[in-house]
Amino acid sequence: MIAPLSLPDQVESELKSVGTVDILVGIPSFNNAGTIGHVVNAATAGLHKYFPDQKVFLVNSDGGSTDGTREIVLKAQLENPNTLIVKHPLRHLARMSTPYSGLPGKGSAFRTIFEIAKRLKAKACCVMDSDLRSVSPEWVELLAGPVLIQGFDYVSPLYARHKYDGTITNMIVYPVTRSLYGKKIRQPIGGDFGFSGAMAEHFLSRDVWETDVARYGVDVWMTTTALTGNFRTCQAFLGAKIHDPKDPGTHLAPMLKQVVGSLFSQMEATFDSWKDVRGSEALPIFGFQWEAGLEPVNINTERMVSQFSLGVQELKGIWEKILSPQTLAEVLALLPAAPGGFAYPDSLWVRTVWDFALAHKKRVLSRDHILGALVPLYLAKTVSFVLETMQLTGKEAEARVEKLALNFEENKSYLTEGWEAKT
């Protein structure tokens, strides 16, 4: 039994005065003063426009921002309400900004949102990242609508993305999640989700709030929990997703360790749910799908190949402990390749990922080292994908991702057999 999260007295009394709500929008934040005003306004507009008759509430769960994020949330107002074509007069949207308690991270921020949703008996909730530049009022309808109107429990996002945007998702998280749990859920770690009050209560009841889930692994954990708990799940097409710019090169290794580490940990925790699953099925999709104009992505493939080459030179001994002899031999044979002819075959990549998952489960090395050793291999697969799809359209590149995901499904027995083997 998990002890209920205690909220600050002021929050408690504010919630008592609110009573119950139909829809709750949650926005986790940490020093997002530059973007959160837009997210709050978009959510406000969405609630006014699409849910005028529902009782709604907006909560910002903040991690101790020092740049005035919380003040912006409380003061944000639609600059020109006339931009919304609605019959009814706009009401003031009840909102709250509260610091969360617990381990610092998005998961703890979400826990506070779940707790507030539970106290307010919210029927439908949605959460949106606070560093988004592309969020529009329609997101609220698309994330909360399927729950409120169609009775779904969990709404996962679908975005229009550049073919090279989200390569960790495309090369690892999507195909692994799909092959494990048998659902074609395209953005398992999208960051923006819709869920029912019952789902929020279920999240709260899980004993994970002192683990990495509270820090950074909450996205994949929520998706996995929904899929393995047989909650009704669907996807909603939200259009383009544009974040605050970050330097991807600097953050790659820690980011990959966090994402893939969380994925592998979930894999370990849910073995009984996925061991017998074969194949995959599509999920219902809401929202009109359109081709968004996407910003070009610059990729330095030479630098990525050189990093892989450095890995071959220096990490062979470590890979020996993780990869099967055959997989290692094939990986080492990838170099030297003709310029522009570098190719990491799908079947080899699938075995690479499964070998890393098995090594992570069996702790053949420190888990941090295992995940760190995956980075050069991931870069190699990404380069291979980029070179292969350079002349392809977004749709054609997406078909390549689907082909890779299918390969993961077809070779799942490699994982299950290794998982159950004694050594």
Between CA 96 and CA 101 the distance in angstroms is 15
Nearer Cβ to another protein, position 24 or 240?
240
Least gap, CB of 369 to another protein (angstroms): 5
Least gap, CB of 240 to another protein (angstroms): 12
Q: Is 364 in the site for another protein (CB under 8 A)?
A: yes
3-class SS at 209? coil
Binding residue for another protein, selected from 268, 302, 314, 417, defined by CB under 8 A: 314
Binding residue for another protein, selected from 89, 293, 296, 339, defined by CB under 8 A: 296
Q: Are 180 and 274 in contact (CB under 8 A)?
A: yes
- The secondary structure of 42-54, three-state, reads HHHHHHHHHCCCC
Between CA 68 and CA 207 the distance in angstroms is 33
Between CA 295 and CA 303 the distance in angstroms is 22
Binding residue for another protein, selected from 117, 144, 234, 256, defined by CB under 8 A: 256
Least gap, CB of 78 to another protein (angstroms): 28
152-191 binders of another protein (CB under 8 A): 164-169, 189
Least gap, CB of 296 to another protein (angstroms): 7
Q: Is 194 in the site for another protein (CB under 8 A)?
A: no
Binding residue for another protein, selected from 54, 136, 270, 307, defined by CB under 8 A: 307
Site residue total, another protein (CB under 8 A): 49
User: How remote is the C-alpha of 203 from its chain's centroid?
Assistant: 16
Nearer Cβ to another protein, position 2 or 297?
297
Q: Are 156 and 188 in contact (CB under 8 A)?
A: yes
Binding residue for another protein, selected from 101, 300, 326, 413, defined by CB under 8 A: 300
Instruction: Show the site string, 333-362: x = touches another protein by CB under 8 A, - = not.
Output: -----------------------------x
Q: Is 310 in the site for another protein (CB under 8 A)?
A: yes
Least gap, CB of 115 to another protein (angstroms): 27
User: Taking Cα atoms as reference points, which of 138, 92, 118, 89 lies closest to residue 21?
Assistant: 118
Binding residue for another protein, selected from 87, 92, 395, 422, defined by CB under 8 A: 422
Q: Is 332 in the site for another protein (CB under 8 A)?
A: no
Between CA 146 and CA 390 the distance in angstroms is 36
Least gap, CB of 263 to another protein (angstroms): 12
Q: Where are the alpha helices (DSSP H) in 158-277?
A: 167-168, 174-181, 197-205, 212-215, 218-228, 248-269, 271-274
Q: Is 147 in the site for another protein (CB under 8 A)?
A: no
**Tokens matching residue 316:** 């062979």
Question: What are the residues whose beta carbons fall under 8 Å from the beta carbon of 116, sequence distance 6 or more?
Answer: 7, 11, 15, 24, 26, 57, 59, 96, 98
Between CA 137 and CA 159 the distance in angstroms is 15
Binding residue for another protein, selected from 40, 45, 176, 315, defined by CB under 8 A: 315
Least gap, CB of 320 to another protein (angstroms): 10
Token pair 């194949």 in the structure block, residue: 279
**Tokens matching residue 39:** 């997210």
Q: Is 380 in the site for another protein (CB under 8 A)?
A: no
7-66 binders of another protein (CB under 8 A): none
Nearer Cβ to another protein, position 177 or 382?
382
Rg (CA), the chain: 22
Nearer Cβ to another protein, position 286 or 378?
378
Q: Are 219 and 105 in contact (CB under 8 A)?
A: no
Least gap, CB of 174 to another protein (angstroms): 11
Looking at residue 169, what DSSP letter applies? Answer: I
Binding residue for another protein, selected from 80, 298, 338, 420, defined by CB under 8 A: 298
Q: Is 303 in the site for another protein (CB under 8 A)?
A: yes
Between CA 52 and CA 403 the distance in angstroms is 43
Sheet holding 154-160, edge to edge: 95-99, 56-62, 23-29, 124-127, 193-196, 154-160, 233-240, 285-286
Q: Is 363 in the site for another protein (CB under 8 A)?
A: yes
**Backbone phi, then psi, for 57, in 5-degree steps?**
-150, 140
Q: Is 249 in the site for another protein (CB under 8 A)?
A: yes
DSSP 381-395: HHHHHHHHHTTS-HH
Nearer Cβ to another protein, position 224 or 273?
224
Residue ranges in contact with another protein by CB under 8 A:
164-169, 189, 243, 245-250, 252-253, 255-256, 259, 295-300, 303, 306-307, 310-311, 313-315, 318, 321, 362-366, 368-369, 372-373, 375-376, 382, 422-423
